[in-house]
Copies of this chain bind each other. A is one copy, B any other.
């Protein structure tokens, strides 16, 4: 009881610091920005577009994230690029996301309503994909924007960004089974790709989770350009943020 002059002050100071992280992730748009930045560095304008916000508003949210030191910036000419301040921030985002997935049936319901409706077949998990990767009858399709593919992808995967898929679908071998992947279990790119592929007559499944989880699991990663089914991309790579 006696002689502990600073105990409460120390505690208050520490929890105050911890709460800075909490305040930073107390707004859905800021979490979305962190999710986007887990994919790599982005300019303000690109982030604003992807998160469906005005540039001014996006800049204000990014300011909050920067002041909480979860993100850092780099200036290049007139543009400012934001990135995660540390890989640990991405890990923290994962643990936040996973806890929400654990605790909230709502998350499960939203995912089911949207994702399962587009899954004709069960999703493929990583182990299954690894064990079948060699047998040739399977095409692994990366439907993220080209620049994310080049920054890192599953070895052997073919890059067809979702925006290009409609036009380039015909170039895929028609008998093949396609496994599409994107940014993670809550990313809408792969489910949308499945819908297009299914309409085009393909047998398509999606990888249960996406590239960030693949890398996190310590599995092999390839970078730069890679085998393409159709070597002449018909349109400029474009960020697809529906």
Contacts and interface: CB of A to CB of B under 8 A. Distances in A.
Contact of A7 (B6, B70, B242): B242
How many identical chains are in the complex? Answer: 2
Nearest to A50: B11
A221 to B, nearest CB: 24
A174 interface: no
A199 to B, nearest CB: 10
A13 to B, nearest CB: 5
Interface in A101-146: 102-104, 106-107, 110-111, 113-114
Interface stretch (A19-27, A151-159, A200-208, A224-232): A19-27
Given A10-B114, A15-B32, A20 B104 contact: yes
A4 B100 contact: no
Nearest to A29: B15
Given A13-B110, A86-B102, A18 B31 contact: yes
Interface residues of A, number: 59
A55 interface: no
Contacts of A169: none
A17 B106 contact: yes
Contact of A17 (B18, B29, B110): B110
Contacts of A88: 98-99, 102-103
A15 B1 contact: no
A41 B16 CA distance: 23
A46 interface: no
A96 B28 contact: no
28 contacts: A1-B163, A1-B242, A6-B114, A7-B192, A8-B242, A10-B110, A10-B188, A15-B28, A15-B29, A16-B28, A17-B100, A17-B106, A17-B110, A18-B25, A18-B96, A19-B26, A21-B99, A21-B100, A21-B103, A22-B30, A23-B26, A25-B25, A85-B103, A86-B102, A88-B102, A89-B99, A91-B95, A91-B99
